[in-house]
A and B are shown apart, each in its own frame.
Chain A
Amino acid sequence: MEARKFTEKALSEWMRGKGPDSDIVISSRVRIARNLDNLPFPMLATNQQSKEILDRLSQVMQAAEMKEIGNFSEVFLSDMSELDKRVLVEKHLISPNLANESRNGAVIISENEAASIMINEEDHLRIQCLYPGFQLEEAWELASRIDDVFEEQVDYAFDEVRGYLTSCPTNVGTGIRASVMIHLPALVLTQQMNRLLPAITQVGLAVRGIYGEGSESIGNLFQISNQITLGQSEKEIIDNLHSVARQIIEHEKAAREKIMQESPIRIKDRIRRSLGILTHAEVMDSKEASQRLSDVRLGLDLGLIDHVSSDVLNELIVMSQTGFLQQVYGRKLNTEERDIYRAALIRDKLSKS
């Protein structure tokens, strides 16, 4: 079954690459929303209309220009198990909305999983590109290139004044949502996030904590994205986000240096304790796992630990979530079992790395 090849491994091919500033920026993502002309948005489309949308958009996969960009596979949501859907959500290849609510939903995923194209989500078409590290322009260029291929083959809903017409008024205009996921342990540790957050939101950006299963937040990871899609060009949106993220990266670097100067023993102690717990614990809830993994990642970036690879850490962040755990162990797990299996998985992966 086609979905399997995307749900088997925790790490997408692209995540194994090292991006610029990857000690702080985990990934850069650009998503663009598009709709076909003369068909209602998915919310109001009849079953037949959403099937028509699916068929028309699926056809674009066969275009020569699309094949030039990469090898894509299409997976229909109706063909997928609940577990497979969940794993794709945990890998950020599809949105929870597509997994749970779409009619005639499908996703077209590139071989290295850097590009995924959702059909019949909130909009007819959502093109998403994910790059490792700080590579917003690259993500935008790829998304825009894929957009051009679709535009060549189908008529988009576009208005001269309003731009690309979307289901939600917060996406109209460029339809672009750009974001970076950044790891900011030192800013959190030195309690500077509270000061920084209002400043970030003042320039039209939104900050979110990253949430795993339910509402358990994942250690010290923040997603910063643009909120404005109308009245700014794509370049302005990307540049604005880029320059704010750049400043945050510099703040985080300074905070890391400060911690190393002022309390090297304490930070070293904390990181090594976390590593000790990860490699020896028998029971581990997801919240603790996220925090400890964040500590170890910081230790790695600061050069305080050298026998752990960042790939393994990235892998564990994805794998220690519910869907993946259940996938690894081949059945539904209750909370208690999950905590035990999570601990075992982490011990195992870290001892091998």
Chain B
Amino acid sequence: MVCQECGKKPATLHFTKIVNGEKTEFHICESCAREKGELIPGTSNGFSIHSLLSGLLDFDPSGKGSSTSSKAQTIRCDECGLTYSQFSKIGRFGCSSCYKHFEDRLDPLFKRVHGSTKHIGKIPKRRGGSIQTKRELEELKKQLQYRIIHEEFEDAAKIRDQIRELEKRISAG
């Protein structure tokens, strides 16, 4: 595989971005990587994954013109002061509140980067009890739907009882 930058040397650095389920690959040789300051352990220059990412961030989800000229610039995190336009340049959040302040624009970004917008992994134990219960509830409701569609009413009734039980627990706090 030849380097996509210079077209001469063999590409030795490879990385991939998944965008809406479509992958974009980058294949670069060592010297072009160095020139572009790609992420190479042992050097101080680990920035480019973020400049690459900022290419992904700098878009307008409404599809109406460039985001840099739109009101994107004016969205700002109250907590740390980072603006959306700064965020899209450096590719990093300033604090956890940025997630709330930029929320409207994050779904398309996360879809592009991860193909998904919702966390389904580990939950912190101390504060996770209610989240865990909510997840269980969602799961049970899905199962209930499935049983009803497949006319497995006896099972459906059992699941309905479990749901009631859980809901009682939730409202009891």
* Residue positions of A touching B, CB distance < 8 A: 35, 37-41, 43-44, 89-90, 95-97, 100-101, 122, 144, 147-148, 151-152, 155-170, 172-174, 176, 194, 197-198, 201-202, 204-217, 227-234, 237, 321
Please determine whether B125 and A230 come into contact, CB atoms closer than 8 angstroms. no
* Chain B residues whose C-beta falls within 8 Å of the C-beta of A151 in the assembled complex: 124-126
A172 B110 Cβ-Cβ under 8 A: yes
In the complex, how many angstroms separate the beta carbon of A186 from the nearest chain B beta carbon?
A: 18
| A169–B118 CB distance below 8 A | no
With an 8 Å Cβ cutoff, the count of chain B residues facing the other chain is 56
A161 to B115, CA, bound (A): 15
B63 lies within 8 A of chain A by Cβ: no
Instruction: With A156-B124, A169-B53, A169-B110 as known contacts, state yes or no: A231 contacts B119, CB within 8 Å.
Output: yes
Number of residue pairs spanning A and B whose beta carbons lie under 8 angstroms apart: 181
Give residues of chain B (55-89) contacting chain A, Cβ–Cβ below 8 Å. 57, 79-82
> With the chains together, A142 CA to B44 CA distance in Å?
29
User: Which among B9-17, B139-147, B148-156, B158-166 touches the partner chain?
Assistant: B9-17
Residue contact A202 to B124, C-beta cutoff 8 Å? no
- Give 25 CB contacts A-B under 8 Å: A35-B96, A40-B95, A41-B93, A41-B94, A44-B95, A95-B41, A96-B46, A148-B125, A159-B99, A162-B106, A162-B118, A166-B93, A167-B93, A168-B91, A169-B93, A169-B109, A170-B53, A201-B15, A201-B16, A209-B12, A228-B18, A230-B110, A230-B113, A230-B114, A234-B122
Q: Are B92 and A122 in contact (CB under 8 A)?
A: yes
Q: How far is the CA of A40 from the CA of B94 in the complex (A)?
A: 6
Asked if B50 is at the interface (CB within 8 A of a chain A CB), the reply is yes
* Contacts A151-B125, A165-B99, A169-B92 supplied; 8 other A-B pairs, CB < 8 Å: A35-B96, A41-B92, A160-B119, A168-B92, A194-B1, A205-B16, A215-B33, A230-B119
